[in-house]
Structure 1
Amino acid sequence: MLRRLDRFLSYEMKVSEFLGTLIIIGIPYGLVGVIWSFTHTGHLRDLHGADLIISFLGSIVCWPVLIFANVTMT
C-alpha cells in the first residue's frame, strides 16, 4: 500500500500537464458556479455597482459552501 502511495506521489508532471488538469477541473466548476449564481440571486437585490459584481463573482467561486449553507439554513 505504501509503495503504491509513494509511486503516486512521486509522479512528476510538466507545467503544461498541470495547467491542462486545472483547466479540465476548472471549466465544470466554473459552469456550475455560474448556473448557481444565476439561479440564486436573492442576496444581490439591494447591491449596486462594485459590491454587486464582487458578490456575484464570489458566489461563482464559493458555490459549494453556499449550497451547504442554503441546505442548513432552510
Structure 2
Amino acid sequence: MWNMIGRVLDHEMKVSEFIGVLILIGIPYFVIGVIWTLTHTSHLSNVDSPLDTVISFLGSIVCWPVLTFSNVTMT
C-alpha cells in the first residue's frame, strides 16, 4: 500500500500536464457553479449596486459547494 502511494507521489509531471489537470477539474466546477447560481438567485434581488451584484454572482459561482450545505447568502 505505502509502496503504491510512494510511486504515485514520486511521479513527475510537466507544467503543461498540471495545467491540463487544472482545466479538467475547473471546467466541471465552473459549469456546476453557474448552473447552481442561476437556479439560486434570490439573494441577488437584495443587492443595490450593479458592481455588488456582479461580485455576488461570481462569488456564488466560486463558493457553490459551501452554499449548498449552508444557508449563507452573499450580500
TM-score under structure 2 normalisation? 0.88
Q: CA deviation at 1:35?
A: 0.4
Question: Residue in 1 aligned with 2:38?
Answer: 38
Once the two structures are superposed, residues 13-64 of structure 1 have per-residue CA deviations (whole angstroms, 9 ceiling, x without a partner) of: 1000100010011001000000011110011102121111111000000101
Aligned length: 70
**Structure 2 gap segments, 5+ residues each:** none
Q: Larger % of helix: which?
A: 1
CA distance in structure 2 between the partners assigned to 1:17 and 1:68 by the alignment: 32
Question: Residue in 1 aligned with 2:60?
Answer: 59
Question: Residue in 2 aligned with 1:49?
Answer: 50
* Identity across matched positions, percent: 61
Greater than 2 Å deviation, 4+ residue runs = none
CA distance in structure 2 between the partners assigned to 1:5 and 1:27 by the alignment: 27
CA RMSD of aligned residues (A): 0.9
**Structure 1 gap segments, 5+ residues each:** none
